[in-house]
Structure 1
Amino acid sequence: MKHGNKILSLAILAALSANTLPASAAAPDKVRVVVSFQPGKAAEIHKAAAAAHGAVVHEIFGMDAMALEVPTQALKGLQNNPNVLYVEEDEKRYALALSKQGATGGQSVPYGISMVQADQLSDASAGNRKVCIVDSGIDANHEDLVGNRLTGEWDRGTGWWYTDENHHGSHVAGTIAAVNNALGVVGVNPNKNIQLHIVKVFGADGWAYSSSLTTAVNKCGAAGANVISMSLGGGRPMKTEEKAFSTLAAKNVLSIAAAGNDGTTAVSYPAGYASVVSVGALDANKEWASFSQYNSKVELSAPGVSVLSTVPMGTGAAPSLTVGNAAYTVSEMEGSPKASASAPLANFGLGDKVDGSVSGKICLIQRGTVDFATKVSNCQASGGKGAVVYNNVAGGFGGTLGTTVTAIPSVTASQADGQAMLGQLGQTATVSVAPANYASWDGTSMATPHVSAVAALVWSLHTNCTAAQLRVSLDNSAMDLGTAGRDAKFGFGLVQAKAAHDRINSMGCGK
């Protein structure tokens, strides 16, 4: 998630009252704003937009509000329209995942399942709960998601819920409900009982406007969702968005969102609203993830580092490397083609120039000086059959080729492994990047579905609890980490399914 300070012209600043902000827009002389208006006055707002030579770009479902794109000079008149309550910037919301690493093989249990105690509770009653996933859709035909109780929405901008061009939503869904079927992974609720409702707000680019998010969560409520899971966020609050979440909370819906991945004290929204649970990320050692935003709004923590889950079939990448008789653990060079190559290993130095001596060989390249795309492209231009980029500092890493298209497979390796391979030059190396249906990702995006799924699991066993009471029980039963009591990095601590269940059993709801 990246946020930049917007440079606002004096004309725009003068056009709005002190408690509103204008938006950046597709055209330099236009802005995209959300207008909240008097009940029953939608037709008048349409007329006002047209009169201002603007357009209605989104009508927010379930609310007297819509997004308009209008000329900058029309903002003052819009703000002063008697049918208008307020005008605010239509902020952007982003998917909150970081690095990606493919995986293949038989079924495994991700470390997060036991960390949140999901393996200590039965999900046999989970059919009485519905989790609404607001994200990029899912691959409904995925081998590890098929058979779940799935419903969803069609969206004019993003299409049908059962496809996932961004891959993010499928990863989230797997953490919640990947099936116990001898394939891939298992989710927190693995036995096809939990109800999932999918609302697709992201396309392949992984962002959406707040107005679209507001429509999405209102549709979750209309579909009967008990829990809304949002692995997304943005840098500024929105009145209209906040009102939607407050209304949902009053209707007994529990909303849960990612705290953000900037690693700062900045507050992300919707996680920052009082009616939304903000989720921070931990690693497998229950340590705070350095990318996880930390502030007074963080309420619960959950696994968010190297979380293995589902991605659309065949879209993941599983890298592998052998040199001679040694197999090395390598990471994905994002953008590498799915391919395999075997050839003698050759030292290609820093890979900063074309060198015909590596023709017909696998290039071993040290990280540094030039970008990864240049290194791999130079290897290819030299006649190299594949590339291995090893770290110039301790540890492994993941790289990306960006928009550069290459034809040879490429992977990354740790510094120690790279140095070991320097002693194997001339031996046959096999670099492979195979298609995968699963991937390990980092992010508060990955932590959020753990909490959403645990909330639904515990609630399914205590349907007499309200959403507000369940929230208190989850907070009070969390494993305290870091500074004693609630703190900025961990909130109340690591969410615990069994502990929450036991607490409600012994003390009642909301204790």
Structure 2
Amino acid sequence: MGLSAQAGDKERYIITYDSNSSDLKKGHAVKAQGKNWFAVELDEKGKSAIKMKKGFKKIEVDAKRFPMGIYNDDAGDPVTQQLTPYAVYQSQANQLTLGSGQKVCVIDSGLDMSNSDFTWSNITGDNDSGTGNWDEHGGPHGTHVAGTVGAADNGYGVVGMAPGVPMHIIKVFNASGWGYSSDLAHAASLCDTAGANIITMSLGGGAANSTEENAFINFTNGGGLVLAAAGNDGNSVRSYPAGYKSVMMIGANDGDNNIADFSQFPSDTITTGRGKKRTTETDDGYGVEVTAGGVDTLSTYPAGLASLSSLTVDSAGVASAATDNTGTVSGETHFMGTAEAVDAGALGKICVIDRGAISFAAKADNCAASGGIGAIVVNNVSGVVYMDITGTAATFPIVGAALEDRAAIVGSTTASIESGASDYGYMSGTSMATPAVAGVAALVWSNHSSCTGSEIRAALKATADDQGASGRDDYFGYGIVKAKDASDYLTANACGGGEPPPPPPPPPSGDLTADGSRSKGGSQLNITWSGFSSSNVDISISGQGFTEANDGAASFSGADKRTTYTISVCEAGTTTCAPDFTL
């Protein structure tokens, strides 16, 4: 497929030449250049003209390039091969092997037994007269969450953060899709009775209460670890149970280490009481402590409840998202822009469409009215577009694609779409990040079984990959959780590593050389300094300071031969210093 430029439209081209380029460049704004080439914008008339000039050799389209994701899912079909979700790589879960002794209690909507991608002999649960059997889903959410924790490493489907880890399932959501805080308090007790040492909750709501809070305090006091989702409203509101100090609050990030725009970010300061009884406390337990991948997370679904797609353009696979219009189609492609009108060029072809201007359903209808046989809608912001095409009359397969792949898709000549019902699908939310951290915690803890939940919690914070503002911030907390780094930290520091350590001091800067002598007449001190990056240095001799230019020398004498002198030289106005000298 090609899109021809209109006479007045300019595109960017690379011009290569054999000899002097002065005539070729004349009258053009050069955008980039190198040896025997330069880049310019040309319309059709300009292209024709430059080809006639002396020294011209070749003209090529200056193709656009887009940033690639730092971490990506494995490519392929989970029905026929095992895929590793991007968050497993991002959080280093693929760098550790699960040991024994851990059990994760998943408090959610149940884990449906129809999905075979679990080590079912390691999974137990509690039935409830109000919510039904734990192994029958109350919606796909709980099955998706459980897969992120511990989907089996078995050669197909997806792999969890802690593959095959024993799990206990508590189904707390009723038919309306919610439960009470008292249900969570009771569930915590059931988790404890079942022998779980980690609780993960991808749920939350407003208002704290002491009964619920005390249940989680008791669990952590018994050596356990409790995690809960920060929430998905993209604001600074504190949700519960994540907002209790005894519960580790988890935020979500994407595959490019960016915070998810929906991830809530309450402060770590809480105020209670009124008047003279008003108190304020700051503790990292009141805010987000760490994050993990929670944007477009691939995991398990109850059998057949997900829609999954595969998209190739010019025989190269690209990321895609299925819609309600599933099926299989292959053919030539035609670019329809934003598809705001019927386009005869799409007859018998797969429509390539930019997001924007009109609804997804209207785009599909215009493709169908043009005689199209399928549609690929490309996002206008980073990531794959997930579409609601309710109301379209089109019956052919329709998938969404990512802005990052736009150049390849728009420039393609052929495409192939396969989509249909699947046991695997995507969800986004802090609900997806929370079980990821729970799985990481189980993985790390299984390699350091003598630790307590509080010590595992501290290690995860101490080794998180700092993102966003330097140090702890309200969005990322301490950063993106890292399994291997946390395990190495515990190996080096034992379980009592404590709270996250302060940042290391800056490395020594510059050189200080000194010598001195003592005699009956007093003390003599000689110093020389050089190699500092600042133009001036601050010199301190036993607390008395002054500023001098960099690269200098000085001598000092004192009347008292018994006095000890400590000399430091630092970059001016900083704490970046050379090692001290003492006389």
TM-score w.r.t. length of structure 2? 0.60
Q: In structure 2, give the amino acid aligned to 1:198.
A: I
Cα deviation 1:169-201 (Å, max 9, x = unaligned): 2222222212121112322222x3x32001122
Quote how far apart the aligned CAs of 1:103 are: 5.2
The question of 1:478 aligning with 2:468 is answered no
Q: What corresponds to 1:41 in structure 2?
A: none
The superposition leaves residues 48-87 of structure 1 with CA deviations (integer Å, 9 ceiling, x where unpaired) of xxxxxxxxxxxxxxxxxxxxxxxxxxxxxxxxxxxxxxxx
Aligned pair partner of 2:81 in 106, 112, 132:
106
| Range moving further from structure 2, 229-238 or 427-436 | 427-436
Residue 272 of structure 1: how far off its partner (Å): 0.7
2:83 counterpart SS class: coil
Partner of 1:283: 254
1:329 aligns to 2:302 (yes or no):
no
- Aligned pairs for 1:67-78 (under 5 A) are none
What is the CA distance between 1:378 and its match in structure 2? Answer: 5.6
Write the distance in 2 (CA, Å) between the matches of 1:217 and 1:351: 53
Whether the aligned pair in 1 keeps the contact of 2:291 and 2:479 (CA below 8 Å) is yes
User: Cα distance, 1:318 vs. partner?
Assistant: 2.6
Matches within 5 A, 1:102-501: 104=78, 105-125=80-100, 128-190=101-163, 192=164, 194-202=165-173, 206-295=177-266, 296=268, 297-322=287-312, 325-327=314-316, 329-334=318-323, 336-342=324-330, 345=333, 350=338, 362-377=350-365, 379=367, 385-392=373-380, 396-402=384-390, 407-414=395-402, 430-501=416-487
Deviation at residue 342 of structure 1 after TM alignment: 4.6
Q: Could you tell me how far 1:277 is from its partner in structure 2?
A: 0.2
Aligned Cα RMSD in Å?
Answer: 3.5
5+ residue gaps in structure 1? 1-100
Determine helix, strand or coil for the equivalent of 2:420. strand
Aligned position for 1:45 = none
- Tell me, yes or no, if the aligned pair for 2:321 and 2:384 is still in contact at 8 Å: no
**How much has 1:255 moved relative to structure 2?**
0.9
1: distance between equivalents of 2:121 and 2:429?
25
1:187 match: secondary structure: coil
Q: Which of structures 1 and 2 has the bigger CA Rg? A: 2
In the TM superposition, residue 417 of structure 1 has moved relative to its aligned partner by: 6.1
- Asked if 1 retains the 8 angstrom alpha-carbon contact of 2:326 and 2:398, the reply is no
The SS at the match of 1:237 is coil
Post-superposition offset of 1:484: 4.0
State the Cα distance separating 1:271 from its structure 2 match: 0.8
Quick one: structure 1 residues 240 and 410, their matched pair in 2 at CA, closer, same or farther if it must change by over 3 Å?
A: same
Q: Is the 8 Å Cα contact of residues 455 and 496 (structure 2) preserved in structure 1?
A: yes
Deviation (angstroms), 1:414: 4.5
* CA positional deviation for 1:446: 1.9
The answer to which structure has the higher helix fraction is 1
Match of 1:467, as an amino acid? G
Contact 2:138 2:177 in 1 (8 A): no
- For 1:339, the aligned partner's letter is G
Number of aligned residues: 403
Distance (whole Å) between structure 1 residues aligned to residue 464 and residue 410 of structure 2 = 48
The amino acid across from 2:88 in the alignment is: I
- Aligned-partner SS, 2:495: coil
Identical aligned residues as a percent: 45
Cα 1:206/1:410, change in 2 over 3 Å = farther
The superposition leaves residues 82-108 of structure 1 with CA deviations (integer Å, 9 ceiling, x where unpaired) of xxxxxxxxxxxxxxxxxxx99535223
Distance 1:438 1:113 in 2: 16
What is the identity, as a one-letter code, of the residue corresponding to 1:248?
A: F
Q: Deviations over 1:112-153 (max 9, x none)?
A: 33433333433232xx22210011222334232144501012
- In structure 2, relative to structure 1, the CA distance for the partners of 1:235 and 1:370 (3 Å cut) is farther
- Give me the whole-angstrom Cα distance separating, in 2, the residues matched to 1:393 and 1:494: 23
Letter of the structure 2 residue corresponding to residue 331 of structure 1 = S
Distance 1:275 1:363, change over 3 A: same
Structure 2 counterpart of 1:112, which letter? A
> Do 1:171 and 1:311's aligned partners in 2 also have CA atoms closer than 8 Å?
yes
Q: Distance in 1 between matches of 2:406 and 2:483?
A: 42
- Bigger relative contact order, structure 1 or 2 (CA pairs below 8 A, ≥6 apart): 1
Q: Which segment is superposed worse, 379-388 or 468-477?
A: 379-388
Shift of 1:433: 1.2
CA distance in 2, matches of 1:381, 1:214: 56
SS at match of 2:179: strand
Secondary structure class of the residue paired with 1:232:
coil
Alpha-carbon deviation of 1:477? 3.5
- 1:228 Cα deviation from its structure 2 partner: 0.4
